[in-house]
Structure 1
Amino acid sequence: MTSPNRASMPTADTHVSAGNYAFMLLLALIWGLSIPVIKLALETLPPVTLTTLRFAIAVPPLLLLTIGKARLPWKALGTAAVLGVAGIGIGQLGQNLGVARTSASVATIISATIPLFTVVFAAFRLGQPVSLRQKAGLLAAFLGIAIIALGRGGGAASLLDSSLGGVVILLVSAAAIAFYYVWSVDLTRSYGSVPVVTWTTLFGLLSLLPFAGMEVATTPMSPSLVAILCAAYLGLLVTVAGLFMWIRILRTVPAPIAAAIQYLQPLFGIAASAWMFGDRLDLSFGAGVALVIIGLALAVPAGRK
């Protein structure tokens, strides 16, 4: 039997408004800047400490948002704990560990697999169908990102420059983050976004504290003001604002469309890297952009009148 939650989920032909497209583009920009910002912060902060500081910054405003809201019931706390450990303790920490161990190009392309995992998990968990055209669009967009990332990093040489362990960590991170996004949907529909995001973030932070304590005790560090500001950006915009935006998107927009729009994240990230670090944008960037646009055209159906 189909649950009420699943029955009310958007389907592949659900109309998507211009406002929702603008909302998804804003989120793609905010999240697209996250890897360059992480790279910048990792210059003076080690990965576990950076991840912990990010979520330590995120938790207080989340707790403030819960004032006057219904509390998450005890029976849902176990699920929230699992989601927090998966999405933050494994997913977000894994992303920082992976970025620290791979080239920027490889980190970019592997992070782009998050929407792919999201579509697969949404099809399994939420029963959202993925048409052949949408599959072709997602594949085209992914190939476009591959051309951009590997073209900028020297192709196969960039892969060889990266640690195999870092690549594996990033893949596990991508799957864990997608798992968190999709499995949060039913919980938020039952209890609301504010308590779910707050409790999952709090549980994720608690899972990080022992490892952060060990890293601080054994690793010399001198964090810069820039690194602290980067952690604040990651905590307040990427985490607090971003999670609420994405959960709302998944509740109102079919997963293939949401995933396709989020393929713009690496484009924003690469553009930011060119500005922040002087990365060169060449013909491969243009070719990749063309493929991403083609992919979006295939994956995003025309709105119904």
Structure 2
Amino acid sequence: MSTQAAQARSGQTSLAPEIWLLLLLSLIWGSSFTLIKLAIPTIPPFTMVAVRVTIAAMLLLLVAVAQGHALPRRGSVWAAFLVQGLLQSALPFTLISWGEAHIASGLAGVLNATPPMFVLVITMLTARGRQTVGGRKIMGVGLGLAGVTVTMGVDALSGIGTAAPLAQAAVLGASLCYALAPIWGQRFSHLPAIVTAAGAMLCAGTLMLPAAAMVERPWTLAPPPAQAIAAVVALAVVCTALAMVIYFRLIRTLGPLGTTSGSYLRAGFAVALGMTFLGEQPTWSSLAGMALIVTGVIAVTAPAPAGNGRTRPG
């Protein structure tokens, strides 16, 4: 018994740093909604994301080289990096940035709390029995979907004739990307986190720079204010470069579902920061929806009680 207790204590000790990193990542990504809201009035979404991922890519590459890591040379790895960069950065960053031009940052954060439910649904459809899914998790998905419906329902009706409903759908599309990204990212578990982050971000920059040039012609835009520039730099350095290193480490240690479980914390941080720094006042529908989403995410991500009789197949 003493040996088992020691092993349990050892497991808890080794898990503790990952939980703290998950909390830190949730705070970092929760703050990104506020930073995007500060920048979007003067820096359009494609340009913002192109600058964000390019700066982050250069920083990550410098750190990887300084640590003595060499980037992979196989074309298949870079093709996988391209998909990762699209799912984890280029597409969701653009969807959220465009969405926040039309809805509050806190609302975007609430809607973006749904990746764990998407992960579970994808797992149920594709895992072929590798994970037992109980009634509690299925109920959690239902609660989360109800939360999204409540959050979007009243606001969408009040926003008929505006871009708000489409903006909300765009943020949900970003959540789907965030659900697919850690599943895809498991294939890089043999690479150092900094190498994976640098490779994926370089590919994201390769996608976004020409897209911004074609869609928005950033050289024709008026110079943005210092506050907007500072927000984009913070997005690049903290919310992208630093966050990606933490993210790819957590994929290895906590897995896709565990990594996305910080989504409800991210939503809370997004709402709190939006209220504190932007003066946003959440609607009753968004607060009620967030409560349902958080309850659903907890039900989806909480570990099953010990001794419940379920065993993993195989």
TM superposition score category, shorter chain reference? 0.7 to 0.9
1:83 counterpart residue number? 84
1:236 & 1:303 partners in 2: Cα distance? 39
Q: Which has the larger radius of gyration?
A: 2
Structure 1 residues 81 and 234, CA gap change in structure 2 (3 angstroms):
same
Match of 1:134 among 129, 134, 137: 137
Q: What's the % identity of the aligned pairs?
A: 25
TM-score by length of 1: 0.78
The DSSP-based 3-state class of the residue aligned with 1:44 is: coil
The DSSP-based 3-state class of the residue aligned with 1:100 is: coil
Would the aligned equivalents of 1:107 and 1:170 in 2 still touch at CA under 8 Å? yes
1:209 counterpart residue number? 209
For residues 261-298 of structure 1, the C-alpha deviation after alignment (integer angstroms, 9 at most, x for no partner) is 32121111011111112123576677567656644654
The DSSP-based 3-state class of the residue aligned with 2:72 is: coil
Give 5+ residue unaligned stretches, structure 2: 1-10, 307-314
The DSSP-based 3-state class of the residue aligned with 1:265 is: helix
Structure 1 residues 282 and 82, CA gap change in structure 2 (3 angstroms):
closer
Shift in Å, 1:243: 1.9
Would the aligned equivalents of 2:96 and 2:174 in 1 still touch at CA under 8 Å? yes
| 1:146-225 paired onto structure 2 within 5 Å | 149=151, 156-158=157-159, 161-187=162-188, 189-214=189-214, 215-216=216-217, 219-225=220-226
The DSSP-based 3-state class of the residue aligned with 2:71 is: coil
Shift in Å, 1:118: 3.1
TM-score by length of 2: 0.76
Structure 1 residues 69 and 125, CA gap change in structure 2 (3 angstroms):
farther
The answer as to 2:53 corresponding to 1:55 is yes
Match of 1:38 among 31, 36, 39: 36
1:155 & 1:164 partners in 2: Cα distance? 5
Give 5+ residue unaligned stretches, structure 1: 1-13
Root-mean-square deviation (CA), in Å? 3.4
Would the aligned equivalents of 1:106 and 1:162 in 2 still touch at CA under 8 Å? no
Q: After superposing the two structures, state which structure 1 stretch, 251-260 or 227-236, moved more.
A: 251-260
The DSSP-based 3-state class of the residue aligned with 1:221 is: coil
Would the aligned equivalents of 2:147 and 2:292 in 1 still touch at CA under 8 Å? yes
